[in-house]
Structure formats: structure tokens, C-alpha cells
Amino acid sequence: MGMDKGMNKSPTPKKKPWINALVAMGSLVISITVLEGVLALAGVRPLSLSEDPYVGFATGQPLFIKKTDVEGRAWYETNPVKLTHFNLQSFPIKKAAGTYRIFTLGGSTTYGHPYRDPTSYSGWLREILTEADSSRKFEVINCGGISYASYREAQLVEELSHYEPDLFVIYSGHNEFLEERTYRKTRELPAWMREASAMMDRTRTYSAMRRALRSFSGGKEKSNKTQMAAEETNILEHTIGPTSYTRDDELKKQVMEHYDLSLRRIARIAHSTGATTLFLSTPSSEKDCSPFKSESTPSISQTQRDSAAQLLKQGVAQLENTDAKGAWAKLNEAANLDPRNAEVLYEAGRAALALQNYPEAKILFRKALDEDICPLRALTPLREITRVAALETKSHYMDFVDIMEKKTQRDQGHNILGEPDFLDHVHLNVEDYGILAHGIFDELVRMNVVHPSASFTQNGMAQVHTKIMARLTPSEEGLGLHNIAKVLNWAGKREDAARIALRGLAKDSASLEAIWSSLFVGASLERHGKSPEAIPHYRRALRLDSNNAETRRILGEALTRTGDTLGAEYQLSATLQLDPDNMEVRGWLAHLEFNHKQYAEAARDFRVLVTAFPQNMNAAGMLAASLVEAGQFDEAETRFQSLVQKNPGDANAWFGLGYIAEKRGRLQDAIQDYARASQLDPNFVGAQKGLGRLLGGIK
């Protein structure tokens, strides 16, 4: 019976392998989830919120530092070391109950360039919110950094996330190509590995392990990232114009990928603090900003390049002569031959615009923008990247490009962006900063953050408009235009610079900044053959700073061209007193002194030139000639002999020797020297007269 009982006992069923795997995986997930929670309570932040996977940054100063007054009130204020790039801003350390705190981030447009915070879109928004809704307090802190790109803004959001934010407004895209960086090592990783690494960076567990590894290795963990300076250092500050840029399609693609990643990182950081993000699309001037640098299409032949260049030259000439139809025929053909040449595309767009073919003009201007070798305007694909990033991160999005296109359509009958809304390639006029702020305000209303009063709806914007515009004094407006003119002139856009400079001078002609605008306008007039009209502008610049050697030089050379040689000599002499080592000016002055028969003074200045540049044969010859006229025959003869030894074909030097020999009564030597000069230059009238004079007197 016992045996039967044992034999009838059922065997323990074995667990299937997949069940064991599920149990193990479930245990691991639970463990990691618990660990994630513990690390969250401990304040451990994922690397995805604190680090950029593409670039690293040197340790720098925070944007805001703590301040406390004698009564114990504490606030944050812009770090003084950051005021080269940021406006001075301040706000309480402890946010008052019911306060809605907004940080606006971006580049110089957010900063308020070419002016400052009070007339920026942040300044407008601050006033609109105060007028519109008195039921709560709104703080708008302008964190726009001049030349800041999205990856630096993401780094900045990491700091701002500790200051009780409610909303981050991001206006980015124009500065993505300003700083030199490489993605080569990052791109060498397979896509799946980059994506897996990005996912792990979002966990606190992996982030804690990485930080522990760095700690054990003394912070010497190997990194493939490009290391960026603590503060923005753009390429343009180290070049003369956009010369450092060249076509690099792979880099362009990588920059746009980095832009997308930076926006998503900003959104994640914001969400981690309970804040919201509002991304804005960033419009640019299309019709009134020629490309900063152009290159021919890489794949076309030299014959095609040459043909396109010739057609471009002809088309532009016809466009300037108001032959829009003829210009379009040439420029459209050039664009077909060289379809990635930004300058060709831009000029073809101008021709289409002149013919009122607005859809075609819009397409060409946008292509020209995207093919600009020096991309100082947001590339058009960034608009869609911004929209999708906002959608997929559950952030808000405002299409400011669309708002500006609709405004332009109402005002000008087409949607091609440019003047008068844009003061330069990307910066808006003050009233358009107001339109941007109004768009953000409308978005806040849709978000149920703001509840405007009935009185504001009726006339509140008019009151804000009056208040903001009163802040823009003529002198400040002029100063802003002067600054724009300097940037455009640096970029090689000399005529654009002169046009803006003239507008600036109409507002302000008394500040030191007006000096450069005066010089730009004067130079433009001279380029158009109007030197007499340029002189008053140069004189204005000199009145503003009489110790400016460059201004005196420019004025002196212009006076020479207009025939006022005495005035020119005075200015160039004054220039040398300020800048004794300026050999170009000394050469101009020496020739003027010689022409004015001031031979001793001319000899002095030519002697300095010859000492500085012993191989300058022209200066050496003029020195010898000046010595002859000054009666210093011994030194003059020695110098002429040196000249003919160095260059036996110098007809002027042989003539000089002949002249000295004649003066000293060595007639046979004089005849030989005059004859040599005449042989070398049959049209040398002085040598022929000397021969005639001497040979006619010999019997």
C-alpha cells in the first residue's frame, strides 16, 4: 500500500524557461524602478538633463548670482562678468505666491539687439502682462545671450531650472553655425548605439554609475565631445568677414541634428521642474539680405561656372538698369546652370520680385538663404524641426514666421520677408518686437495662464505701444543703426552698411558711433564717383574725434582726389603726428610736398620710406629727385648711381644723373646719361630736351 501511495504521487512540474526569464526581468525592472525612485529622492539628475551628448563646456560662471540688501531681502542678479552678452536682470530668490515666472532665451534678437531689454520682445511682454491681467504677478526675465546657439541655451536652462521657472520661451536658430565644432567622433558611433546611449542617459541609475566612474578616475573619463569655451567665442571674431566658412553639407546636417537634440533637451529639463516650454520659429530677412558668402555648385563643370558667372554679371547690370524682364532671363538661366550658388539664387529672386512673380521669388530667396556658405540666418528646415520637437515633447509652439509672413502680405501684397520689418539679416524693428510679444501673449491666453481684462482688450495694447516707443530715444535708435552698419560693413556688405548708416545719422550724428557711419556713407559716395559729396561726412567724423588718425587719413586722401592738395597735406601731416609709423600716409604726404615744391620736407619723408622699404625703387627715385631740387647734388648723385646699379633700365635715374652732370658742367657725361634715358624711354620728353639743349650748344 505504501508503495502504491508513493507511486501515485504526482511529480513537481518544471517551470518553463521563458517564465523564469520573465520573473528575472520583472525583478530587475522592479529593482531599477525602486532604485530610480531612491535616486530621485536623493536629488540625482539624469545626465540627459545636465549634459550635452555632442559637446562639453569648460567650467564657467553662472548667469545669475545671489544678492542681499541690509534688510535681508534676497534676489538673483545678472553676474557682472556676463554683461558683455546679457542684459542686466534681477528677480527675487523666493518666488512670491501666485507669481508666474517666465524666462526668455535665445540669441541677440531675444537680447533686444540692436537695442536693449526695455524695447525687446521681453520688455514688451512684461508690459503687456502687467496691463492685461492684474489678478496675478508676472515676471519676465530676459536671458537672451548675444551669439548664443541652442546648445548654449540648453546649458543655460539647466541653471535656470533651479530658479522656480514656470515657462521657458525659446527663440533660437540664427546662431547655430557661429562656433567651430566637430561631430566626427560622435558620428563614428552606429545610430543604434547613439540612441541606446541617449536612452540610458535619461536614467538616474546609469547617470549615477557614470558619475561614480568619473569620481574614481579623478574626472579623467575619456570623452569624444568637442570641448567648448565657457563663454561663446564665435568664428567671426577671428576672421575678416566670413572667410573661414566653406561648403560642408555633412556638417550642416549634423548641426541641424544637434539643434533638434538641444530643443528636446530643453523641453526635458523644463518638464523635470514642472515648467512649460514655448518654442518659436525664427524668421529672417529674405529679400533685403544678400548671402554672406557664396560658392558654386560642387558638381558642375568649370564651363558651367564661367557661363553662370557671366550671366550673373549681365543679369545684375540689367536689373540695375530696371530691365527686370531681361535680367530674369539671364539670372534664371544662371540659376539653372549653378543651382546651389547663393548669390545667383538671390539675384534671380530679386529679378522675380521686380516682375512681381512673388511665389517664384519666395522660393529663390529661401534657397539662397539655405545655400549661404556663412549661415547667419536660421536655415529654413529648422522651422519644421522646431515644430516637430515641440509636438513630440508635448511643448507649445508658435509659428512666428507665419505671423510675419501674414503681416507682410497685408502690408506689401506678398509674403517675402525683409524691410522695413527687419533692420538687418535677422533683427526686427521695435514695433515688430511688439508683434512677437503679442503673439506670445495670445499663446499664454490659450494656455489659460493669462486672463486679460475687458479694458485691456479694448485699448490696452495702444497704451503699451505708447509706453514702449517712448523708451526709444532718437539717440538710442541711431546708436542701434550705427552698430548694425558696422556689422554689415565687416561682412563686406558695404552698400547695405552705408544705407543703414545714413538712417542712423538721421537719428544721431553726435555720438562717437556716428564716426563710423559717417565714414561708411562717405566711402559709398566715393565709390559712386561723388567724392565732393563725401567730404562733409568725413569732416563730421573728424569733428567727433580729432585724434582719430584713420579719419584724418581718409579725409586727406579724399581731398587729394578732389584737388584740394593743400587741405590734403594738412590732414596727412596731422595723421603722421598721430601715427608716425603709417608708411602709406607718409608716401601720400611726401608726393604732395614734392608737388608743392617743399623739397626738403619731401626728401625727409621719402628718406623715411626708403629706410623702411629699401627695395621701394619709386621712393628711392623720388628721394633722389627731391635732393636734386633741394640742391643736395652729392647725395642725389650717389643715390641715382645706386639706382642704375640695381636697375640699369631705370630711365628716370639716368635722367637724374644727366641733370646733375649738366648742372656741374660735365656736359659730355650729361649727354651720355640723357641719351641712355632717351633710348630706354623714347617718349621721355625731359631727356630729349636735355639732349637738344646740350647738342645744340656744341660746335
Q: What are phi and psi of 582, to 5 degrees?
A: -80, 95
Report pLDDT for 696.
Answer: 80
Model confidence at 418: pLDDT above 80? yes
Q: Which residues are CB-neighbours of 331 under 8 A, at least 6 positions away? A: 311, 312, 315, 316, 319, 344, 347, 348, 350, 351
Q: With helix as H, strand as E and coil as C, how does 442-474 read?
A: HHHHHCCCCCCCHHHHHHHHHHHHHHHHHHCCH
Cβ neighbour number for residue 635 with a 10 Å cutoff:
15
Q: Which of 106, 100, 68 shows the shortest CA–CA distance to 164?
A: 100
Report pLDDT for 621.
Answer: 86
C-alpha cell recorded at residue 517: 557711419
* The one-letter amino acid at 307: S
Q: What are phi and psi of 68, to 5 degrees?
A: -140, 135
Beta strand 276-280 with 396-398: parallel, antiparallel or unpaired?
A: parallel
Average pLDDT, the chain: 87
Model confidence at 188: pLDDT above 50? no
Model confidence at 687: pLDDT above 50? yes
C-alpha cell recorded at residue 296: 558654386
Task: Report the alpha-carbon distance of residue 623 to residue 635 in Å, rounded.
Answer: 10
**DSSP assigned state of 421:** T
Measured between alpha carbons, how far is residue 578 from residues 546, 571, 586, 588 in Å?
10, 11, 12, 16
- Among residues of the chain, what percentage have pLDDT more than 70? 83
Q: Which of 283-292, 447-456, 541-550, 656-665 comes out lowest in average pLDDT?
A: 656-665
Report pLDDT for 217.
Answer: 46
Task: Report the alpha-carbon distance of residue 625 to residue 622 in Å, rounded.
Answer: 5
Task: Report the alpha-carbon distance of residue 595 to residue 630 in Å, rounded.
Answer: 13
Report pLDDT for 686.
Answer: 87
Q: Which of 31-40, 163-172, 282-291, 379-388 comes out lowest in average pLDDT?
A: 31-40
Report pLDDT for 450.
Answer: 96
C-alpha cell recorded at residue 292: 554672406
Domain boundaries, given as residue ranges, for the chain: 19-45, 51-188+224-290+378-472, 302-370
Measured between alpha carbons, how far is residue 326 from residues 288, 315, 341, 348, 510 in Å?
21, 7, 20, 11, 45
CATH class for the region spanning 302-370: mainly alpha
Model confidence at 44: pLDDT above 50? yes
- Choice between 196 and 339, residue whose per-residue pLDDT is larger: 339
Q: Specify the fold of 51-188+224-290+378-472.
A: Rossmann fold (3.40.50)
402: left (phi over 0), alpha (psi -120 to 50) or beta: alpha
Task: Report the alpha-carbon distance of residue 350 to residue 652 in Å, rounded.
Answer: 53
pLDDT in tens, 515-544: 999 999 999 999 999 999 999 999 999 999
Report pLDDT for 45.
Answer: 56
Model confidence at 16: pLDDT above 90? no
Report pLDDT for 189.
Answer: 43
Measured between alpha carbons, how far is residue 437 from residues 79, 140, 171, 314, 461 in Å?
26, 11, 12, 44, 11
Model confidence at 584: pLDDT above 80? yes
Residue listed under C-alpha cell 534657397: 367
Model confidence at 2: pLDDT above 90? no
Report pLDDT for 480.
Answer: 93
Please give the average per-residue pLDDT across 80-96, as a whole number.
95
**DSSP assigned state of 391:** H
Model confidence band, residue 40 (pLDDT cutoffs 50, 70, 90): low
Task: Report the alpha-carbon distance of residue 29 to residue 33 in Å, rounded.
Answer: 6
Q: Give 289-345 as a DSSP string.
A: ---S-----TTS-HHHHHHHHHHHHHHHHHHHTT-HHHHHHHHHHHHHHSTT-HHHH
Cα dihedral value 607, 609, 614, 617, nearest 10: -90
Report pLDDT for 559.
Answer: 94
pLDDT in tens, 208-245: 555 454 454 444 444 555 554 555 555 445 444 577 88
Cα dihedral value 36, 37, 42, 46, nearest 10: 40
User: Is residue 560 within 8 Å of 545, Cβ to Cβ?
Assistant: no
- Choice between 225 and 508, residue whose per-residue pLDDT is larger: 508
Residue 75 burial (C-beta neighbours within 10 Å; 0-12, 13-18, 19+): middle
Task: Report the alpha-carbon distance of residue 317 to residue 17 in Å, rounded.
Answer: 81
Do 51-188+224-290+378-472 and 302-370 have matching folds? no
Model confidence at 284: pLDDT above 60? yes
Residue 513 burial (C-beta neighbours within 10 Å; 0-12, 13-18, 19+): buried
Please give the average per-residue pLDDT across 265-273, as a whole number.
96
pLDDT in tens, 458-468: 789 999 999 99
Please give the average per-residue pLDDT across 284-290, as a whole number.
95
Please give the average per-residue pLDDT across 649-678, as a whole number.
88
C-alpha cell recorded at residue 188: 563614428
Report pLDDT for 57.
Answer: 47
Report pLDDT for 325.
Answer: 97
Model confidence at 644: pLDDT above 90? no
Task: Report the alpha-carbon distance of residue 533 to residue 543 in Å, rounded.
Answer: 17
User: Is residue 174 within 8 Å of 377, Cβ to Cβ?
Assistant: yes
Model confidence at 6: pLDDT above 60? no
pLDDT in tens, 475-502: 999 999 999 999 889 888 899 899 999 9
Model confidence at 19: pLDDT above 90? no
pLDDT in tens, 304-313: 999 999 999 9
Please give the average per-residue pLDDT across 410-419, as a whole number.
97
Q: Which of 315, 239, 661 shows the shortest CA–CA distance to 490?
A: 239
C-alpha cell recorded at residue 399: 509659428
Q: Which of 373-382, 634-643, 688-697 comes out lowest in average pLDDT?
A: 688-697
Cβ neighbour number for residue 655 with a 10 Å cutoff:
24
